Amino acid sequence: MNHQPYFPHHGNEGYRVRHYDLDLDYRPNSHRLTGRASVIAVAEQALPSIVLDFGRFRVDRVLVDGKRPAKWSHANGKLRLRPARPLAPGAEFTVEVRYAGPPHPVRSAFGEIGWDQLTDGAIVASQPTGAPSWFPCDDRPGSKATYRIAVTAPSEYTVFANGRLRSVKEHGGSATWVHHQSAPMPSYLATVQIGRYEILELPGPVHQPAGVPAALESLFRHDFARQPEMLRVFQELFGPYPFEEYAVVVADDELDVPIEAQGLSVFGRNHLDGRRGHERLVAHELAHQWFGNSLTLADWRDIWLHEGFACYAEWLWFEFADGVPASVPAQRFMRKLAGLPQDLVIGDPGPARMFDDQVYDRGALTLHTLRRHIGDPAFFKLLKEWTATHRHGSVRTADFIALAQRHCAHPLDGLFRKWLFEPALPPAV
């Protein structure tokens, strides 16, 4: 049984993935991807068959522990295989898949998501269900694993992926870029970015590489100049940065919104204006490294735990950096929400509206209300305990409510019920 009510056709039961080992070769001119994926997993029950989420590729070979399975099929977004013998509970196994073809983004209510072409290069934006567009996986947000991602592309291109860059080797007009993500990561946060980028470095205690088109370098250096200070402020408010590095890529295309990935964020050229006009988005994507990447929802219905927290982090950045109290945007968004239909429960918004602006805005207002209710010392202690307790783990709304209650002598059930589970907008904070 699949316990993902929003996307019941994604994710698989019976095993837990420990590691993905991906070797990919991408040709931008022909938009062709050739891949070898090794999925290392552990059976959680007797397992007569193994099912992986996988998109529209030609599958050339499938092996289980180095041997051909008794039977396999690939249809309707699922790769199904039957080992020669059922796997016993606790058994570790490896599925190797070799495949090729043009990556096809996954169609969704939010448009096409996953691996897609840029004007010159490639971009991967998989939230929430686009990961099968480029590798076989267990596509559930609560299914976290480590990754090795090796990508070969023509040598004039630069490749970014999750985790630290371990090596770059050139050979015959191509280059292979190898990244290791040692922190557990769900499939939807895995990414590859390919383009003609200059590699820059922002200062600070955390490694902050950036991939930027040469023509946009001066705009980037101005508009992202405060990111190192932003990282310092967020570490003071939320606790230590949870990964080895934080990379930023600026695609040489316009993007509707920035793209969140683990240890990496992607912006469009339209997010650079020389005036820091999109600095709130820089803060939002950085905050996701704590709220969404290190702490990842176990179920998509709890999306406010990502977007509400990242939105509130925008307000906190301008409060602590520029002295603009969070109450200023809080009042502005209260007025905005008061003029909208009161028809959304942000604690369970449904798959069609999980990225509705109200989930972001009202989620942030929930946190602001909690902060005013319990006071700053308790609120910021709560945030640090939240990120430390669940570092690199899976979380649910009930977990946050229970932890918040430990920081308040008075019951908080009514506050959370009104803000998260009733559609009517509560009184102004």
Dihedral sign from CA coordinates of 387, 388, 393, 395: negative
Which pLDDT value is given to residue 5? 87
Residues 6+ apart with CB under 8 A from 388: 239
Which pLDDT value is given to residue 3? 61
* 170 marked as binding residue: no
Measure the CA–CA gap between 300 and 347, rounded to whole angstroms.
10
Residues pairing with 274 in the sheet: none
Q: Supply the DSSP string of 151-195, one letter for each residue.
A: EEEETTSEEEESSEEEEEEEETTEEEEEEEEEEEEEGGG--EEEE
Which pLDDT value is given to residue 1? 42
Q: How many residues does the chain have?
A: 429
**Beta carbons within 10 angstroms of residue 36's beta carbon:** 18
Which one, of 116, 118, 146, 151, lies nearest residue 130 by Cα?
A: 116
Dihedral sign from CA coordinates of 391, 397, 402, 405: positive
Task: Indicate the DSSP class of residue 311.
Answer: H
Q: Return the residue matching tokens 């599958």.
A: 59
Domains of the chain (ranges, CATH numbers):
1-194 (2.60.40.1730), 197-289 (3.30.2010.30), 296-420 (1.10.390.10)
Six token digits for residue 334 = 């209260």
* 279 marked as binding residue: no
Catalytic center residues: 285, 360
Which one, of 72, 97, 98, 99, lies nearest residue 83 by Cα?
A: 72
Phi then psi for 380, rounded to 5 degrees? -75, -25
* 10 marked as binding residue: no
Digits of tens for pLDDT over the chain (429 positions)? 446 789 999 999 999 999 999 999 999 999 999 999 999 999 999 999 999 999 999 999 999 999 999 999 999 999 999 999 999 999 999 999 999 999 999 988 888 999 999 999 999 999 999 999 999 999 999 999 999 999 999 999 999 999 999 999 999 999 999 999 999 999 999 999 999 999 999 999 899 999 999 999 999 999 999 999 999 999 999 999 999 999 999 999 999 999 999 999 999 999 999 999 999 999 999 999 999 999 999 999 999 999 999 999 999 999 999 999 999 999 999 999 999 999 999 999 999 999 999 999 999 999 999 999 999 999 999 999 999 999 999 999 999 999 999 999 999 999 999 999 999 999 876
